[in-house]
Amino acid sequence: MEDNKTNGRDEIFSTKVKAGKRTYFFDVKSTRSNDYYLTITESKKRFKEDGFTYEKHKIFLYKEDFNKFIEALNNTVNHVKTELMPNVDFSQFDNHDREEEIASAENPRTSDMDTELKWD
């Protein structure tokens, strides 16, 4: 099972974002040669006859693509906010999950995601 295998890749940092029935994990990992990359995993809980399973989709993002990725994501989100949905007050979603904020404060490995992504 992939969850239990690291294949020599150490996890350096992890944070998660709960979004309804989905959870997004942002993990910084290192290679054997001490290079760093990011994995973004979407996890959805699926119910079956005999219980449940998690369906996962993963994106690998390498350091040379960080800035391009952030720029494209910010441009896309800003387009939706300003061009497609200009009358929506997106600040109403800032404190949507108060329980998540409390859990994040209790567990420093989890936190809510800012609307502007930044890697310096």
Please state the domain extents for the chain. 2-106
Global confidence as pTM: 0.66
∠ Cα 84 39 20 (to 5°) = 50
In CATH, what class is 2-106?
alpha beta
Q: Give the pLDDT confidence of 18-28 residue by residue, as tens digits.
A: 988 899 999 99
Q: Give the pLDDT confidence of 63-118 residue by residue, as tens digits.
A: 999 999 999 999 999 999 999 999 999 988 887 555 555 555 555 544 444 445 55
Would the CA dihedral through 47, 50, 51, 57 be positive or negative? negative
* Average pLDDT of the segment spanning 38-67: 92
Average pLDDT, the chain: 80
Tokens linked to 106 = 């209790």
Phi and psi at 23, nearest 5°, equal: -130, 135
